[in-house]
């Protein structure tokens, strides 16, 4: 579809959504939606997008969908928690994170709104040990050091993996490190295990002799989210740009599934990672868009409650209160 036609359809869809939200029974998951900006006015809009390891940026570029009619300012973050701190502070308008960062942000009453969901493979959500480690089972981690990024998807994965093995976080030593620091600590033997995701998982596999102690099968929900700031959603120009961005991202996710080598090359170009790393990560399968529906909310609430029960989050909250489904109709069309 030509860009002009695509944006016209987007604007009409947004207008229809606005009408639907303004009449009849109100949707508690939707804040007031500003009127869409006409396509010709988007050139004056700047959208600030948070990314991790060139993930979304390279995804869009590999699909040829980075010809934005507005200006995009990219900001790269090592993991989800600092990205959401930037969203809450209105330093970034939108960004992609895993399943756990929105829970810690919501528990801290951050200014965030989850606006889109994806689901991917869980075999790259791993708990690693060095190949020569004596540890063979998760229950042998009692008293051992596990490196992870606090509030990241790896944090959630460790919690669920330990619980499945009959352990609590108090029975291990959680060492909170961002991925680059955790990789160094893991290689040097300063920690016994490392909870991590791709592309770091693929990178350490190629650089070191490692073994997977556990992955996300049977525990993780595989969800990831696009999270926006309320100020951006309340701004007519940025809200329209976010709608366009999310549709492009969903289309790019589907494209990458059918064109994995092209995706791997673009990911390597944008991050400087060896293509062998991005190719290995890509071969495991991409995240694909899913509806931000009641089942997604239920799954995330279950994970949040598990953190509360473990004492990792101090009090219970309703994840649904941090969800905004205003873009559901546009994304359903993809």
**Where do the domains of the chain lie?**
3-119+222-333, 126-214
Residue 321 has pLDDT above 90, yes or no: yes
First to last CA, the chain: 12
**What is the fold of 126-214?**
D-Maltodextrin-Binding Protein; domain 2 (3.40.190)
Q: What is the pLDDT of residue 8?
A: 37
Q: What percent of the chain lies above the pLDDT cut of 70?
A: 91
pTM of the model: 0.84
Q: Long-range contacts made by residues 62-66, C-beta under 8 angstroms, separation at least 24?
A: 62/252, 62/255, 62/256, 62/259, 62/262, 62/263, 62/265, 62/266, 62/267, 63/251, 63/252, 63/255, 63/256, 63/259, 65/248, 65/251, 65/252, 65/255
Mean pLDDT of the chain: 89
Q: What is the pLDDT of residue 30?
A: 63
The residue written with tokens 């992609």 in the block is: 96
Q: What is the pLDDT of residue 116?
A: 98
Judge contact between 94 and 49, C-beta under 8 A: yes
DSSP 321: G
CA-based nearest residue to 148, from 170, 176, 125:
176
The whole-angstrom separation of Cα 237 and Cα 177 is 37
Phi–psi pair at 19, nearest 5 degrees:
-60, -45
Judge contact between 33 and 21, C-beta under 8 A: yes
**Range 3-119+222-333: architecture per CATH:** 3-Layer(aba) Sandwich (3.40)
Residue 122 has pLDDT above 50, yes or no: yes
**How does residue 190 score in pLDDT terms, banded at 50, 70 and 90?**
very high
**How does residue 29 score in pLDDT terms, banded at 50, 70 and 90?**
low
Instruction: Please state at what angle helix 260-271 crosses helix 275-283, rounded to 10 degrees.
Output: 140
Judge contact between 44 and 237, C-beta under 8 A: yes
Least trusted range by pLDDT, from 15-24, 222-231, 309-318: 15-24
Encode pLDDT of 74-94 as tens digits: 999 999 999 999 999 999 999
Is 126-214 in the same CATH topology as 3-119+222-333?
yes
Residue 95 has pLDDT above 50, yes or no: yes
Judge contact between 100 and 156, C-beta under 8 A: yes
Tokens representing residue 227 in the block: 């999270």
Residue 19 has pLDDT above 60, yes or no: no
């Amino acid at each position: 579809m030509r860009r002009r036609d695509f944006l016209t359809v987007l604007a009409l869809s947004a207008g229809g959504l606005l009408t639907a939200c303004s009449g009849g029974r109100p949707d508690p998951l939707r804040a007031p939606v500003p009127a869409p900006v006409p396509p010709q006015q988007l050139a004056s809009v700047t959208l600030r997008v948070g990314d991790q390891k060139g993930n979304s940026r390279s995804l869009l570029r590999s699909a040829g969908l980075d010809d934005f009619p507005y200006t995009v300012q990219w900001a790269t973050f090592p993991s989800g928690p600092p990205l959401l701190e930037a969203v809450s502070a209105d330093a970034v308008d939108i960004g992609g994170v895993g399943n756990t960062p929105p829970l810690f942000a919501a528990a801290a009453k951050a200014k965030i709104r989850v606006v889109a969901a994806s689901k991917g493979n869980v075999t790259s959500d791993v708990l690693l040990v060095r190949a020569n480690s004596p540890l063979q089972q998760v229950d042998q981690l009692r008293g051992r050091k596990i490196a992870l990024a606090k509030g990241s998807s790896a944090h959630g994965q460790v919690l669920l993996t330990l619980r499945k093995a009959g352990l609590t976080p108090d029975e291990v030593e959680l060492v909170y490190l961002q991925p680059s620091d955790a990789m160094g600590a893991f290689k040097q033997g300063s920690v016994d295990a490392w909870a991590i995701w791709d592309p770091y998982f693929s990178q350490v596999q190629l650089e070191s002799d490692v073994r997977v102690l556990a992955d996300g099968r049977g525990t993780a929900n595989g969800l990831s989210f696009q999270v926006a700031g309320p100020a951006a959603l309340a701004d007519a120009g940025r809200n329209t740009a976010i709608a366009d961005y999310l549709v492009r991202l969903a289309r790019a996710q589907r494209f990458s599934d059918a064109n994995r080598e092209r995706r791997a090359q673009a990911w390597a170009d944008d991050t400087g990672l060896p293509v062998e790393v991005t190719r290995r990560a890509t071969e495991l399968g991409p995240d694909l868009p899913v509806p931000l529906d009641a089942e997604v909310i239920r799954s995330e609430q279950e994970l949040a409650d598990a953190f509360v029960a473990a004492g990792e989050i101090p009090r219970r909250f309703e994840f649904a209160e941090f969800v905004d489904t205003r873009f559901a109709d546009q994304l359903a069309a993809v």
